Chain A
Amino acid sequence: MAEKKRSTPQLDELEKGSWPSFVKEIKTAAEKNPMANDLLGQLERSYEDKISHWKHGGIVGVLGYGGGIIGRYSDLPEEFPNVSHFHTIRINQPAGWFYTSDVLRKLCDIWEKHGSGLTNMHGSTGDLVFLGTKTDELEPTFNELTDLGFDLGGSGSDVRTPSCCCGMARCEWACYDTMALTYFLTMHYQDELHRPAFPYKWKFKMSGCPNDCVAAIARSDMSIIGTWRDDIQVDEAAVTEYAKSGVDIQKDVVGNCPAKCMEWDGKKIKIDNKACVKCMHCINAMPKALAPGKDRGACILIGAKAPIVEGALLSSVLIPFIKLVPPYKELTDLVEKIHELWAENGKNRERVGEFIQRIGMGNFLEAIGVEPTPEMVAHPRENPYVFYEEYFEEDSEDNKNA
Protein backbone atom coordinates (compact mmCIF):
# COMPACT_ATOMS: atom_id res chain seq x y z
CA MET A 1 0.00 0.00 0.00
CA ALA A 2 1.48 3.32 -1.05
CA GLU A 3 1.96 6.18 1.35
CA LYS A 4 0.37 9.63 1.14
CA LYS A 5 0.67 11.30 -2.24
CA ARG A 6 3.40 13.92 -2.19
CA SER A 7 3.14 17.49 -3.35
CA THR A 8 5.72 17.97 -6.12
CA PRO A 9 5.18 21.37 -7.75
CA GLN A 10 8.67 21.50 -9.29
CA LEU A 11 8.59 17.97 -10.68
CA ASP A 12 5.10 18.62 -12.06
CA GLU A 13 6.69 21.11 -14.47
CA LEU A 14 8.61 18.23 -16.03
CA GLU A 15 5.36 16.51 -16.95
CA LYS A 16 4.29 19.36 -19.21
CA GLY A 17 4.87 19.13 -22.95
CA SER A 18 4.24 16.44 -25.50
CA TRP A 19 7.33 14.35 -24.79
CA PRO A 20 7.50 11.32 -22.47
CA SER A 21 8.10 12.24 -18.84
CA PHE A 22 10.09 10.24 -16.30
CA VAL A 23 8.15 12.07 -13.56
CA LYS A 24 4.87 10.70 -14.92
CA GLU A 25 6.32 7.18 -14.86
CA ILE A 26 7.64 7.53 -11.31
CA LYS A 27 4.24 8.84 -10.19
CA THR A 28 2.54 5.80 -11.75
CA ALA A 29 4.99 3.52 -9.91
CA ALA A 30 4.47 5.50 -6.69
CA GLU A 31 0.81 4.49 -6.60
CA LYS A 32 1.87 1.03 -5.48
CA ASN A 33 5.55 1.30 -4.54
CA PRO A 34 6.70 3.25 -1.44
CA MET A 35 10.27 3.50 -2.82
CA ALA A 36 9.01 5.33 -5.90
CA ASN A 37 6.93 7.59 -3.62
CA ASP A 38 9.94 8.56 -1.50
CA LEU A 39 11.98 8.98 -4.67
CA LEU A 40 9.54 11.66 -5.80
CA GLY A 41 9.91 13.37 -2.43
CA GLN A 42 13.69 13.34 -2.50
CA LEU A 43 13.83 14.52 -6.11
CA GLU A 44 11.53 17.43 -5.29
CA ARG A 45 13.84 18.33 -2.39
CA SER A 46 16.84 18.22 -4.73
CA TYR A 47 15.17 20.68 -7.09
CA GLU A 48 14.33 22.93 -4.13
CA ASP A 49 17.81 22.76 -2.62
CA LYS A 50 19.59 22.70 -6.02
CA ILE A 51 21.80 19.87 -4.81
CA SER A 52 21.80 16.08 -5.16
CA HIS A 53 20.84 14.18 -2.03
CA TRP A 54 22.45 10.94 -3.23
CA LYS A 55 25.66 9.48 -1.88
CA HIS A 56 27.34 7.35 -4.50
CA GLY A 57 29.57 4.28 -4.49
CA GLY A 58 30.64 2.10 -1.59
CA ILE A 59 30.83 -1.58 -0.83
CA VAL A 60 27.59 -3.07 -2.17
CA GLY A 61 27.68 -5.93 -4.64
CA VAL A 62 26.87 -9.60 -5.01
CA LEU A 63 29.27 -12.26 -3.81
CA GLY A 64 32.23 -12.74 -6.14
CA TYR A 65 31.45 -9.80 -8.41
CA GLY A 66 33.14 -6.42 -8.42
CA GLY A 67 30.81 -4.83 -10.95
CA GLY A 68 27.17 -4.56 -11.87
CA ILE A 69 25.87 -2.88 -8.71
CA ILE A 70 26.18 0.85 -8.16
CA GLY A 71 25.74 1.78 -4.53
CA ARG A 72 23.48 4.72 -3.83
CA TYR A 73 22.30 6.07 -0.46
CA SER A 74 20.10 8.98 0.51
CA ASP A 75 21.66 11.69 2.70
CA LEU A 76 18.15 12.31 4.09
CA PRO A 77 17.31 8.78 5.29
CA GLU A 78 15.04 9.93 8.16
CA GLU A 79 12.95 12.01 5.80
CA PHE A 80 12.84 9.47 2.98
CA PRO A 81 13.37 6.06 4.66
CA ASN A 82 12.23 4.00 1.67
CA VAL A 83 15.12 5.32 -0.44
CA SER A 84 17.75 5.26 2.31
CA HIS A 85 19.31 2.56 0.09
CA PHE A 86 18.57 3.01 -3.59
CA HIS A 87 21.15 0.86 -5.40
CA THR A 88 21.25 0.52 -9.17
CA ILE A 89 21.66 -2.86 -10.87
CA ARG A 90 23.18 -3.04 -14.32
CA ILE A 91 22.13 -6.11 -16.27
CA ASN A 92 24.02 -7.35 -19.29
CA GLN A 93 21.67 -6.64 -22.20
CA PRO A 94 21.30 -9.07 -25.10
CA ALA A 95 23.43 -8.02 -28.11
CA GLY A 96 21.43 -5.58 -30.23
CA TRP A 97 18.81 -5.20 -27.44
CA PHE A 98 16.52 -7.94 -28.70
CA TYR A 99 14.06 -9.34 -26.15
CA THR A 100 10.88 -11.34 -26.28
CA SER A 101 7.88 -9.68 -24.63
CA ASP A 102 7.67 -12.70 -22.31
CA VAL A 103 11.20 -12.07 -21.01
CA LEU A 104 10.48 -8.37 -20.54
CA ARG A 105 7.43 -9.21 -18.42
CA LYS A 106 9.49 -11.61 -16.30
CA LEU A 107 12.23 -9.00 -15.82
CA CYS A 108 9.64 -6.46 -14.69
CA ASP A 109 8.07 -9.01 -12.32
CA ILE A 110 11.47 -9.63 -10.70
CA TRP A 111 12.02 -5.93 -10.26
CA GLU A 112 8.59 -5.17 -8.86
CA LYS A 113 9.16 -7.93 -6.32
CA HIS A 114 12.65 -6.86 -5.23
CA GLY A 115 13.02 -3.17 -6.06
CA SER A 116 11.33 0.07 -6.99
CA GLY A 117 9.89 -1.32 -10.23
CA LEU A 118 11.62 1.54 -12.10
CA THR A 119 13.86 0.63 -15.04
CA ASN A 120 16.00 2.44 -17.54
CA MET A 121 15.79 0.80 -20.94
CA HIS A 122 18.64 1.30 -21.60
CA GLY A 123 21.38 3.17 -19.78
CA SER A 124 24.06 5.04 -21.71
CA THR A 125 26.35 2.07 -21.05
CA GLY A 126 23.92 -0.08 -23.03
CA ASP A 127 22.90 -2.16 -20.02
CA LEU A 128 19.36 -2.81 -18.91
CA VAL A 129 19.20 -0.80 -15.69
CA PHE A 130 17.13 -1.57 -12.60
CA LEU A 131 16.85 1.59 -10.51
CA GLY A 132 16.65 1.40 -6.76
CA THR A 133 16.72 -1.41 -4.25
CA LYS A 134 17.98 -2.20 -0.77
CA THR A 135 21.21 -4.03 0.03
CA ASP A 136 19.33 -7.10 1.33
CA GLU A 137 17.50 -7.47 -1.98
CA LEU A 138 20.63 -7.61 -4.15
CA GLU A 139 21.43 -11.32 -3.84
CA PRO A 140 17.79 -12.48 -4.26
CA THR A 141 17.43 -10.26 -7.35
CA PHE A 142 20.69 -11.60 -8.78
CA ASN A 143 19.58 -15.19 -8.18
CA GLU A 144 16.29 -14.67 -10.00
CA LEU A 145 18.02 -12.89 -12.86
CA THR A 146 20.50 -15.73 -13.34
CA ASP A 147 17.62 -18.24 -13.26
CA LEU A 148 16.12 -16.28 -16.15
CA GLY A 149 19.43 -16.46 -18.04
CA PHE A 150 20.67 -12.93 -17.35
CA ASP A 151 23.91 -11.80 -15.77
CA LEU A 152 25.13 -8.53 -14.29
CA GLY A 153 26.94 -6.05 -16.49
CA GLY A 154 30.09 -4.11 -15.77
CA SER A 155 30.75 -1.11 -13.53
CA GLY A 156 33.82 0.38 -11.89
CA SER A 157 37.31 -0.25 -13.22
CA ASP A 158 36.43 -3.24 -15.36
CA VAL A 159 35.48 -4.20 -18.89
CA ARG A 160 32.05 -2.61 -19.26
CA THR A 161 29.24 -4.55 -20.87
CA PRO A 162 30.10 -4.66 -24.58
CA SER A 163 27.33 -3.13 -26.70
CA CYS A 164 26.53 -2.94 -30.39
CA CYS A 165 24.07 -1.81 -33.03
CA CYS A 166 21.53 -4.32 -34.33
CA GLY A 167 23.98 -5.10 -37.16
CA MET A 168 23.16 -7.83 -39.62
CA ALA A 169 19.93 -8.63 -37.76
CA ARG A 170 18.18 -5.64 -39.27
CA CYS A 171 20.62 -3.51 -41.24
CA GLU A 172 21.91 -4.06 -44.75
CA TRP A 173 24.88 -1.71 -44.20
CA ALA A 174 26.45 -3.91 -41.53
CA CYS A 175 29.98 -4.71 -42.68
CA TYR A 176 30.54 -7.39 -40.03
CA ASP A 177 28.40 -9.32 -37.56
CA THR A 178 28.33 -6.90 -34.64
CA MET A 179 26.05 -9.08 -32.53
CA ALA A 180 28.26 -12.15 -32.92
CA LEU A 181 31.36 -10.15 -31.96
CA THR A 182 29.59 -8.56 -28.98
CA TYR A 183 28.50 -11.96 -27.71
CA PHE A 184 32.02 -13.31 -28.23
CA LEU A 185 33.69 -10.42 -26.39
CA THR A 186 31.16 -10.63 -23.54
CA MET A 187 31.92 -14.31 -23.02
CA HIS A 188 35.68 -14.03 -23.66
CA TYR A 189 36.12 -11.22 -21.12
CA GLN A 190 33.83 -12.56 -18.37
CA ASP A 191 36.61 -12.42 -15.79
CA GLU A 192 37.55 -8.84 -16.70
CA LEU A 193 33.85 -7.87 -16.77
CA HIS A 194 33.07 -9.07 -13.26
CA ARG A 195 36.42 -8.54 -11.52
CA PRO A 196 37.77 -5.01 -11.88
CA ALA A 197 41.49 -5.23 -12.62
CA PHE A 198 42.25 -2.10 -14.60
CA PRO A 199 43.25 1.49 -13.79
CA TYR A 200 39.75 2.56 -14.88
CA LYS A 201 36.84 1.52 -17.10
CA TRP A 202 37.29 -0.10 -20.52
CA LYS A 203 34.47 0.01 -23.07
CA PHE A 204 34.04 -1.96 -26.28
CA LYS A 205 31.38 -0.68 -28.67
CA MET A 206 30.62 -2.24 -32.02
CA SER A 207 29.02 -0.42 -34.95
CA GLY A 208 28.35 -2.27 -38.19
CA CYS A 209 29.08 0.64 -40.52
CA PRO A 210 30.50 4.18 -40.40
CA ASN A 211 27.04 5.59 -39.56
CA ASP A 212 28.10 4.42 -36.10
CA CYS A 213 24.62 4.11 -34.58
CA VAL A 214 26.00 3.30 -31.10
CA ALA A 215 28.34 6.32 -31.23
CA ALA A 216 31.32 4.06 -30.60
CA ILE A 217 33.76 6.70 -31.85
CA ALA A 218 32.71 9.09 -29.09
CA ARG A 219 32.19 6.74 -26.17
CA SER A 220 34.33 3.64 -26.24
CA ASP A 221 37.93 2.94 -25.40
CA MET A 222 37.95 0.50 -28.29
CA SER A 223 35.55 1.39 -31.10
CA ILE A 224 35.08 -1.32 -33.70
CA ILE A 225 33.38 0.26 -36.70
CA GLY A 226 32.43 -1.59 -39.87
CA THR A 227 33.95 -0.43 -43.16
CA TRP A 228 34.91 -1.76 -46.60
CA ARG A 229 38.02 -1.52 -48.75
CA ASP A 230 36.74 -2.01 -52.29
CA ASP A 231 34.37 0.17 -54.32
CA ILE A 232 30.94 1.47 -53.31
CA GLN A 233 28.31 -0.65 -55.08
CA VAL A 234 26.30 1.42 -57.56
CA ASP A 235 22.95 0.48 -59.11
CA GLU A 236 22.83 2.80 -62.15
CA ALA A 237 19.12 2.25 -62.80
CA ALA A 238 18.26 3.16 -59.20
CA VAL A 239 20.41 6.32 -59.45
CA THR A 240 18.39 7.33 -62.55
CA GLU A 241 15.17 6.68 -60.61
CA TYR A 242 16.33 9.00 -57.79
CA ALA A 243 17.11 11.73 -60.36
CA LYS A 244 13.72 11.27 -62.04
CA SER A 245 11.88 11.43 -58.73
CA GLY A 246 13.34 14.87 -58.08
CA VAL A 247 16.46 14.22 -55.98
CA ASP A 248 19.03 16.91 -56.79
CA ILE A 249 21.99 14.55 -57.00
CA GLN A 250 24.50 17.30 -57.78
CA LYS A 251 23.49 19.49 -54.85
CA ASP A 252 22.39 17.00 -52.19
CA VAL A 253 24.66 14.04 -52.84
CA VAL A 254 27.78 15.04 -54.84
CA GLY A 255 27.91 18.56 -53.40
CA ASN A 256 27.90 17.26 -49.83
CA CYS A 257 30.65 14.67 -50.32
CA PRO A 258 33.39 15.70 -47.82
CA ALA A 259 36.12 14.06 -49.93
CA LYS A 260 34.85 15.60 -53.19
CA CYS A 261 35.32 12.22 -54.80
CA MET A 262 32.06 12.09 -56.77
CA GLU A 263 30.95 13.45 -60.12
CA TRP A 264 27.47 13.61 -61.66
CA ASP A 265 27.04 14.43 -65.35
CA GLY A 266 23.26 14.38 -65.24
CA LYS A 267 23.11 10.72 -66.28
CA LYS A 268 25.81 8.76 -64.49
CA ILE A 269 27.50 8.97 -61.15
CA LYS A 270 31.29 8.50 -61.00
CA ILE A 271 33.10 7.77 -57.73
CA ASP A 272 36.84 8.00 -57.15
CA ASN A 273 36.80 5.22 -54.52
CA LYS A 274 40.46 5.70 -53.58
CA ALA A 275 39.60 9.15 -52.26
CA CYS A 276 36.40 8.06 -50.48
CA VAL A 277 36.55 8.55 -46.70
CA LYS A 278 33.59 6.18 -46.03
CA CYS A 279 31.43 8.93 -44.52
CA MET A 280 28.23 7.14 -45.69
CA HIS A 281 26.60 10.41 -46.80
CA CYS A 282 25.92 9.33 -50.41
CA ILE A 283 24.75 5.89 -49.30
CA ASN A 284 22.38 7.39 -46.74
CA ALA A 285 21.06 9.87 -49.32
CA MET A 286 20.39 7.19 -51.98
CA PRO A 287 20.07 3.90 -50.08
CA LYS A 288 18.39 2.08 -52.98
CA ALA A 289 21.15 3.05 -55.41
CA LEU A 290 24.39 2.88 -53.43
CA ALA A 291 25.74 0.37 -50.92
CA PRO A 292 29.01 -0.33 -49.09
CA GLY A 293 31.48 -2.46 -51.08
CA LYS A 294 31.63 -6.23 -50.92
CA ASP A 295 35.07 -6.55 -49.27
CA ARG A 296 33.82 -5.75 -45.79
CA GLY A 297 35.43 -5.74 -42.35
CA ALA A 298 36.06 -3.19 -39.62
CA CYS A 299 38.30 -0.36 -38.53
CA ILE A 300 39.54 -0.48 -34.95
CA LEU A 301 39.87 2.84 -33.18
CA ILE A 302 41.12 3.58 -29.70
CA GLY A 303 40.81 6.09 -26.91
CA ALA A 304 37.36 7.75 -26.83
CA LYS A 305 35.87 8.94 -23.57
CA ALA A 306 33.39 11.41 -22.15
CA PRO A 307 34.70 14.19 -19.91
CA ILE A 308 35.11 12.90 -16.35
CA VAL A 309 38.60 13.32 -14.96
CA GLU A 310 39.82 15.11 -18.09
CA GLY A 311 38.15 16.41 -21.27
CA ALA A 312 36.33 14.37 -23.90
CA LEU A 313 38.26 12.47 -26.57
CA LEU A 314 37.18 10.90 -29.85
CA SER A 315 38.83 7.61 -30.69
CA SER A 316 41.48 7.52 -33.41
CA VAL A 317 42.47 4.85 -35.89
CA LEU A 318 44.59 1.97 -34.59
CA ILE A 319 43.95 -0.74 -37.19
CA PRO A 320 42.61 0.68 -40.47
CA PHE A 321 41.07 -2.58 -41.69
CA ILE A 322 40.57 -6.01 -40.20
CA LYS A 323 38.43 -8.93 -41.30
CA LEU A 324 36.38 -9.80 -38.25
CA VAL A 325 35.58 -13.48 -38.30
CA PRO A 326 35.59 -16.09 -35.52
CA PRO A 327 37.65 -16.93 -33.53
CA TYR A 328 38.76 -13.25 -33.59
CA LYS A 329 42.30 -14.22 -32.52
CA GLU A 330 43.95 -11.16 -34.10
CA LEU A 331 41.61 -8.89 -32.15
CA THR A 332 42.00 -10.61 -28.76
CA ASP A 333 45.79 -10.70 -29.13
CA LEU A 334 45.78 -6.95 -29.74
CA VAL A 335 43.43 -6.26 -26.82
CA GLU A 336 45.54 -8.38 -24.50
CA LYS A 337 48.69 -6.41 -25.34
CA ILE A 338 46.89 -3.12 -24.73
CA HIS A 339 45.35 -4.31 -21.46
CA GLU A 340 48.69 -5.56 -20.19
CA LEU A 341 50.49 -2.29 -21.01
CA TRP A 342 47.74 -0.06 -19.62
CA ALA A 343 47.15 -2.15 -16.46
CA GLU A 344 50.88 -2.09 -15.72
CA ASN A 345 51.53 1.58 -16.45
CA GLY A 346 48.20 3.42 -16.27
CA LYS A 347 47.51 5.79 -13.38
CA ASN A 348 44.45 5.42 -11.18
CA ARG A 349 41.34 6.63 -13.10
CA GLU A 350 43.32 7.07 -16.33
CA ARG A 351 41.41 5.94 -19.41
CA VAL A 352 43.44 4.36 -22.19
CA GLY A 353 42.99 7.46 -24.40
CA GLU A 354 44.51 9.65 -21.68
CA PHE A 355 47.25 7.08 -21.13
CA ILE A 356 48.15 7.25 -24.85
CA GLN A 357 48.22 11.05 -24.69
CA ARG A 358 50.53 10.89 -21.66
CA ILE A 359 53.05 8.41 -23.01
CA GLY A 360 52.74 9.42 -26.69
CA MET A 361 51.19 7.47 -29.55
CA GLY A 362 54.61 6.49 -30.91
CA ASN A 363 55.62 4.85 -27.64
CA PHE A 364 52.21 3.21 -27.30
CA LEU A 365 52.40 1.70 -30.80
CA GLU A 366 55.93 0.48 -30.20
CA ALA A 367 54.93 -1.14 -26.89
CA ILE A 368 52.01 -3.04 -28.42
CA GLY A 369 53.94 -3.92 -31.59
CA VAL A 370 51.77 -2.09 -34.12
CA GLU A 371 53.42 -0.29 -37.05
CA PRO A 372 52.39 3.35 -37.58
CA THR A 373 50.33 3.97 -40.73
CA PRO A 374 49.12 7.18 -42.41
CA GLU A 375 45.51 6.41 -41.39
CA MET A 376 46.49 7.04 -37.76
CA VAL A 377 47.19 10.70 -38.49
CA ALA A 378 44.09 12.66 -37.50
CA HIS A 379 44.91 15.80 -39.50
CA PRO A 380 47.56 16.57 -42.15
CA ARG A 381 50.77 18.04 -40.74
CA GLU A 382 49.67 17.24 -37.19
CA ASN A 383 50.33 14.39 -34.77
CA PRO A 384 54.14 14.52 -34.98
CA TYR A 385 54.33 11.55 -32.66
CA VAL A 386 55.92 8.98 -34.95
CA PHE A 387 59.62 9.22 -35.63
CA TYR A 388 61.07 7.05 -38.33
CA GLU A 389 64.47 6.13 -36.91
CA GLU A 390 65.66 4.79 -40.26
CA TYR A 391 64.97 8.21 -41.76
CA PHE A 392 67.05 9.95 -39.10
CA GLU A 393 69.88 7.46 -39.57
CA GLU A 394 69.86 8.05 -43.33
CA ASP A 395 69.75 11.78 -42.74
CA SER A 396 72.75 11.73 -40.41
CA GLU A 397 74.64 9.56 -42.94
CA ASP A 398 73.88 12.17 -45.62
CA ASN A 399 75.13 14.96 -43.35
CA LYS A 400 78.35 13.07 -42.70
CA ASN A 401 78.91 12.57 -46.40
CA ALA A 402 78.06 16.17 -47.30
Chain B
Amino acid sequence: MAEQVTVQEVSDAMYKMIKDSMGQKKWKATDLTKAVTELFGDRCNKDLTKAAIRDLIENGKCVYTYFGGSFIEIPHREGAEN
Protein backbone atom coordinates (compact mmCIF):
# COMPACT_ATOMS: atom_id res chain seq x y z
CA MET B 1 0.00 0.00 0.00
CA ALA B 2 1.30 3.47 -0.95
CA GLU B 3 2.46 5.71 1.88
CA GLN B 4 -0.03 8.45 2.74
CA VAL B 5 0.80 12.08 2.09
CA THR B 6 0.86 14.48 5.05
CA VAL B 7 -1.68 17.16 5.84
CA GLN B 8 1.02 19.75 5.07
CA GLU B 9 1.65 18.29 1.60
CA VAL B 10 -2.06 18.32 0.80
CA SER B 11 -2.44 21.82 2.19
CA ASP B 12 0.53 23.08 0.12
CA ALA B 13 -0.85 21.49 -3.03
CA MET B 14 -4.25 23.09 -2.44
CA TYR B 15 -2.66 26.49 -1.81
CA LYS B 16 -0.71 26.26 -5.06
CA MET B 17 -3.86 25.39 -7.01
CA ILE B 18 -5.70 28.37 -5.54
CA LYS B 19 -2.78 30.75 -6.06
CA ASP B 20 -2.07 29.64 -9.63
CA SER B 21 -5.67 30.16 -10.71
CA MET B 22 -6.38 33.32 -8.72
CA GLY B 23 -8.63 35.68 -10.67
CA GLN B 24 -9.56 32.93 -13.11
CA LYS B 25 -11.24 30.27 -11.01
CA LYS B 26 -12.93 30.17 -7.64
CA TRP B 27 -12.45 26.93 -5.72
CA LYS B 28 -15.11 25.27 -3.59
CA ALA B 29 -14.05 22.82 -0.89
CA THR B 30 -15.41 19.96 -3.00
CA ASP B 31 -13.40 21.07 -6.06
CA LEU B 32 -10.20 21.16 -4.02
CA THR B 33 -10.95 17.75 -2.56
CA LYS B 34 -11.48 16.27 -6.01
CA ALA B 35 -8.35 17.93 -7.40
CA VAL B 36 -5.97 16.72 -4.68
CA THR B 37 -7.53 13.25 -4.72
CA GLU B 38 -6.76 13.13 -8.43
CA LEU B 39 -3.23 14.41 -7.78
CA PHE B 40 -2.30 12.08 -4.94
CA GLY B 41 -4.56 9.11 -5.74
CA ASP B 42 -4.96 6.56 -2.96
CA ARG B 43 -2.24 8.29 -0.91
CA CYS B 44 -4.86 10.86 0.06
CA ASN B 45 -8.28 10.47 1.72
CA LYS B 46 -11.27 12.55 2.80
CA ASP B 47 -10.01 13.12 6.35
CA LEU B 48 -6.70 14.42 5.05
CA THR B 49 -8.36 16.86 2.66
CA LYS B 50 -10.63 18.15 5.44
CA ALA B 51 -7.64 18.64 7.73
CA ALA B 52 -5.71 20.38 4.96
CA ILE B 53 -8.54 22.87 4.29
CA ARG B 54 -8.79 23.53 8.01
CA ASP B 55 -5.05 24.14 8.11
CA LEU B 56 -5.25 26.65 5.24
CA ILE B 57 -8.06 28.58 6.92
CA GLU B 58 -6.76 28.53 10.48
CA ASN B 59 -3.29 29.63 9.42
CA GLY B 60 -4.86 32.56 7.61
CA LYS B 61 -3.35 31.54 4.25
CA CYS B 62 -6.88 31.30 2.83
CA VAL B 63 -10.33 32.54 3.74
CA TYR B 64 -13.87 31.46 3.02
CA THR B 65 -15.75 33.84 0.75
CA TYR B 66 -19.36 33.96 -0.34
CA PHE B 67 -20.38 34.83 -3.88
CA GLY B 68 -23.64 32.97 -4.40
CA GLY B 69 -21.95 29.92 -2.85
CA SER B 70 -19.00 29.42 -0.50
CA PHE B 71 -15.49 29.45 -1.92
CA ILE B 72 -11.93 29.23 -0.60
CA GLU B 73 -9.64 32.06 -1.69
CA ILE B 74 -6.41 33.81 -0.84
CA PRO B 75 -7.26 36.90 1.26
CA HIS B 76 -7.61 40.06 -0.78
CA ARG B 77 -9.39 43.37 -0.47
CA GLU B 78 -12.79 42.77 -1.96
CA GLY B 79 -14.47 45.00 -4.49
CA ALA B 80 -17.63 45.45 -2.43
CA GLU B 81 -15.62 46.99 0.37
CA ASN B 82 -14.17 49.70 -1.87
Contact = CB atoms under 8 A, between A and B. Distances in A.
Interface of A: 55-59, 61, 63-67, 70-71, 73, 85, 135, 155-158, 191, 195-200, 343-344, 346, 348-349
Given A59-B63, A59-B78, A198-B30, A64 B70 contact: no
A195 B69 CA distance: 12
Interface in B25-47: 28-30, 33-34
A344 B49 CA distance: 13
Contact of A199 (B28, B58, B60, B66): B28
Contacts of B53: 195, 197
A55 B65 CA distance: 14
A66 B29 CA distance: 11
Interface of B: 28-30, 33-34, 50, 53-54, 57-58, 60, 63-70, 73, 75-76, 78, 80-81
Which residue of B30, B50, B54 has the most chain A CB atoms within 10 A of its CB atom?
A: B30
Which residue of B57, B64, B67, B78 has the most chain A CB atoms within 10 A of its CB atom?
A: B64
20 contacts: A56-B80, A57-B66, A58-B81, A59-B75, A59-B76, A59-B81, A61-B64, A73-B80, A158-B70, A195-B50, A195-B53, A195-B57, A195-B64, A196-B69, A197-B29, A199-B30, A200-B69, A348-B28, A349-B68, A349-B69
A156 B70 contact: yes
Contact of A57 (B33, B73, B80): B80
Given A66-B64, A66-B70, 20 more contacts: A57-B80, A59-B73, A59-B78, A63-B60, A64-B58, A65-B64, A73-B81, A135-B81, A157-B69, A157-B70, A158-B70, A191-B50, A195-B29, A195-B53, A195-B57, A196-B69, A198-B29, A343-B33, A344-B30, A349-B69
A156 B30 CA distance: 14
A59 B65 contact: yes
Which residue of B53, B65, B70 has the most chain A CB atoms within 10 A of its CB atom?
A: B70
A55 B79 CA distance: 10
Contacts of A59: 63, 65, 73, 75-76, 78, 81
A135 B65 CA distance: 14
- Label chain B's interface by main secondary structure: mixed
Contacts of B76: 59
B43 to A, nearest CB: 19
A67 to B, nearest CB: 7
Contacts of A71: 66, 78, 80
A61 B50 CA distance: 19
Contacts of B70: 66-67, 156-158, 196
A344 B46 CA distance: 11
A200 B57 CA distance: 19
Contacts of A195: 29, 50, 53-54, 57, 64
B67 A57 contact: yes
Contacts of A55: 80
A348 B69 CA distance: 7
Contacts of A200: 69
A278 B1 CA distance: 54
Contacts of B63: 59, 61
B69 A70 contact: no
Nearest to B67: A57
B80 A196 contact: no
A63 B29 CA distance: 17
A199 B50 contact: no
A197 B81 contact: no
Contacts of A349: 68-69
A42 B65 CA distance: 25
Nearest to B65: A59
A55 B28 CA distance: 22
A197 B50 contact: yes
A280 to B, nearest CB: 37
Nearest to A64: B58
Which 3 pairs of residues, A with B, have the shortest CB-CB distance?
Answer: A66-B64, A196-B70, A156-B70
